[in-house]
Amino acid sequence: DAGVIQSPRHEVTEMGQEVTLRCKPISGHNSLFWYRQTMMRGLELLIYFNNNVPIDDSGMPEDRFSAKMPNASFSTLKIQPSEPRDSAVYFCASTKYTLGAQVVETQYFGPGTRLLVL
Amino acid sequence: KNQVEQSPQSLIILEGKNCTLQCNYTVSPFSNLRWYKQDTGRGPVSLTIMTFSENTKSNGRYTATLDADTKQSSLHITASQLSDSASYICVVSLSRGGTASKLTFGTGTRLQVTL
C-alpha cells in the first residue's frame, strides 16, 4: 500500500493567494483527518471526516479555511486568502473506523505539506 | 481544557543507553493513550496504543506504561540506537461514540542519540 499521499510536499506562496492542499487516504479507510503542526503549538486537529461527511470542524481557525471530501479517495484543504501565520506543516491522516470494534484504530499519517506564506 | 504535557522537552543520550519520556494529561473522558514517533520531515508513526484498562504495552525496544489514576504515562526506550533520534509525541484520545477517536497531542520530546 502506498500509504497516505499528500500533495504538494512543499508550497511557497504570497500573502493573499489561494492555497489548496490535497490528500489521498489509504484505500479502504473511512475516516480522514487534517492536522496542522507548528513549533509553537505542535499538532492540532483542524477537521475530520467520517464516510466523507465532516464530523468535527471545531479546529478550523477561521472562515479562510475550508475542507472538502467529495469521495472516499480524495480530500482538499483550502486556504483563501492565505496569511503568513498560516505557515506550517499540514498533515492528512486516515484510519478505518468500525463502530463497536474491540481494537482501537490507528491513524496513519501522510508525509505532510510544508506551507510557507510570504 | 484538555491538555497533554510532556517532559523533558529535549534529551540527548549516548547510543546504547536507556531513557524514559514522561507524559501527563488532563483529557477527560479518557479513551486511550498513544505514543507516536516523528522523524524530521516526516509524518508521525504510531508506536503503541493503550486503553484505560491497560498499564503497559511494548513494541520492540519501546515500552509504554499508563497510570490512568494519576493520568501519567511514560515511554521507555531500551538500548537506544541512532535511528531513535526523533520527536516522541504523547497523544490522548477522547471518548466519543459513533466515530473515530479525536486526538489531543502533546508538544513532544525531541530525542537525540549520539555516538
Paired with B74 in beta bridges are B22, B65
| Contact indicator for B32, B49 with CB cutoff of 8 Å | yes
Considering only A75-79, B46-50, B72-76, which range has the smallest mean pLDDT?
B46-50
Q: Which three cell numbers stand for residue A50?
A: 467520517
Instruction: Pick B106's closest partner by Cβ from A33, A42, A95.
Output: A42
What's the rounded Cα separation, in Å, for the pair A19 and B98?
32
Burial (CB count <10 Å: 0-12, 13-18, 19+), residue B91? buried
Q: Can you tell me the distance from the alpha carbon of B102 to that of B34, in angstroms, rounded to the nearest whole number?
A: 12
Closest-CA residue of B relative to A42 is: B107
Look at B101 and A106 and tell me if their CB atoms are within 8 Å. Answer: no
pLDDT tier, B2 (very low <50, low <70, confident <90, very high otherwise): low
pLDDT 10s digits, A38-86: 988 889 999 999 899 998 888 898 899 999 999 999 999 999 999 999 9
Label residue A9 exposed, middle or buried (CB < 10 Å: 0-12, 13-18, 19+). exposed
Tell me which residue in A31, A33, A111 faces B42 most closely, judged by beta carbons.
A111
Considering CB atoms only, which of B41, B98, B101 is closest to A99?
B98
3-class SS of residue B83: helix
Q: Residue B32: pLDDT above 90? A: no
> CA B21, CA B39: separation in Å to the nearest integer?
16
Q: Using a CB-CB distance cutoff of 8 angstroms, which residues of chain A are in contact with residue B41?
A: 111-112
For residues B111 and B88, the answer to whether their CB atoms sit within 8 Å is yes
